[in-house]
Chain A
């Protein structure tokens, strides 16, 4: 579904991604872990071109998204993104946050989007907050709404950029539960996170990044039980 080939990204002289090659299959839950500054978030943001790669290619369903001629808006409609700081639109109600994009991109009529939004809100247990504004919600609620907002576009893949890092510890669980639920339904997900428990339980593959490279990748049981690289071992010993 997503083919990444020799992807590199530098900010000025600072090389953040150094030749990343990987493939994300339909239905996979790929969990990316690694120390801060290792390029995890940059990698994720290159997948939907929020960052413009300096080199290499990203193919989504066979289309090279780094090609300037590609309609990136059409690609992004199929790739939802959930941010660390939620980035809900504070000037709109929850319902309008969710329905704005599907309606404005012509995907749905307003009433269809409204119905879908309500169905999704019920699924994450927030149907009663449809008319609230983001400032009236807790962090965990905001992030669940942000996930619903991305889901309402019927994306083929969801990108999560440290979705629980800005949350109070108490609220991490409710967001992870929603993500687990999505994974069980077969949603393709790429998740940058520090939640090792989530990686172990839900991930179908774990990527360990350091210094802009993928140092090690494996299925979670093997990854956590027998890390091959010394760097991976020292990282895991600190976080586990």
Chain B
């Protein structure tokens, strides 16, 4: 079967070289073969997809870690009691984190990526890791604000009730505030993850070989971007749809305590 297809492809190529026009479906088939199968090009897409997923997952982990740390420090700072002496270390760290969020959210992702790739890590050839770090730092700032918003959205009475029972701050957060905050922030967090997944496509500007770059390379070889670019678009779309479906299932599970009667 494969051999036949290859023969057919060679035949079609010959016809094109001879200036004979192809039929519509023949043209579609030829483009498809050329973009995905010729020279086992699909392996390039798979490799590219691997890079995309690797960058996304590493960045996601980094982003969540940065986000949680920043959000917790900033919330703790804001929840210090008026009247009591403020913790100076917390104040200093809070100022640094505030600057981090401001700078990261105030500059374009692409500029950050270019600075990381061509200034800070200009000698590094490992674009995947540079990209994962850049996207992680970027995502962290947004995740921090999402989590902070989620923690603040929980009724202050919940914290008071926990504390009035003699639970300390950390335990009240862990058992009472954070579980409620998670339910509130899950949609926003899912959204951030989707944005991150798609944004990794700009890693091409520092020479990363993600799935978008593969499509661009193949397009430049075949002089026809229809199949490769649409193909990649479909891959992104499928991943986002799968992820959205998983998130909606998770949300439904967490809504268990909202059911009535």
A contacts, CB < 8 Å to B: 48, 50, 52, 54, 68, 73-81, 83, 85, 87-92, 100-101, 104-105, 133-136, 149-150, 153
Contacts and interface: CB of A to CB of B under 8 A. Distances in A.
A89 B260 contact: no
A73 B166 contact: yes
B177 to A, nearest CB: 10
B165 A91 contact: no
* Chain B contact residues: helix, strand, loop or mixed: helix
Contact of B257 (A79, A83, A133): A133
Interface in B157-207: 157-158, 160-168, 171, 175-176, 179-180, 183
Nearest to B175: A100
B84 interface: yes
B253 interface: no
A37 B83 CA distance: 21
A36 B207 CA distance: 67
A134 B257 CA distance: 8
A101 B167 contact: yes
Contacts of A134: 257
Contact of A87 (B84, B155, B168, B258): B155
B131 to A, nearest CB: 37
B252 interface: no
Contact of B83 (A54, A88, A100, A101): A54
A150 B161 CA distance: 9
A149 B165 CA distance: 8
Interface residues of B, number: 28
Nearest to A97: B161
A75 B167 CA distance: 11
Contacts of A80: 164-165
B261 interface: yes
A79 B259 CA distance: 32
Given A90-B180, A133-B259, A135-B257, A76 B166 contact: yes
Counting from the closest, the 9 A-B pairs by CB-CB distance are A77-B166, A101-B165, A87-B161, A81-B164, A87-B157, A76-B166, A133-B257, A52-B83, A91-B179
A34 B168 CA distance: 32
22 contacts: A50-B163, A52-B82, A52-B84, A54-B83, A73-B163, A73-B168, A79-B164, A83-B161, A85-B157, A87-B158, A88-B161, A90-B180, A91-B179, A104-B171, A105-B166, A133-B257, A133-B258, A134-B257, A135-B258, A136-B259, A150-B165, A153-B165
Nearest to B83: A52
A175 B157 CA distance: 20
Nearest to B180: A91
Interface of B: 81-84, 155, 157-158, 160-168, 171, 175-176, 179-180, 183, 256-261
Given A91-B179, A104-B171, A76 B259 contact: no
A101 B163 CA distance: 9
From B82, B165, B258, residue with most partner A Cβ within 10 Å:
B165
A77 B165 CA distance: 6
Contacts of A73: 163, 166-168
Nearest to B157: A87
A73 B81 CA distance: 15
A89 B181 CA distance: 12
Contacts of B257: 90-92, 133-135
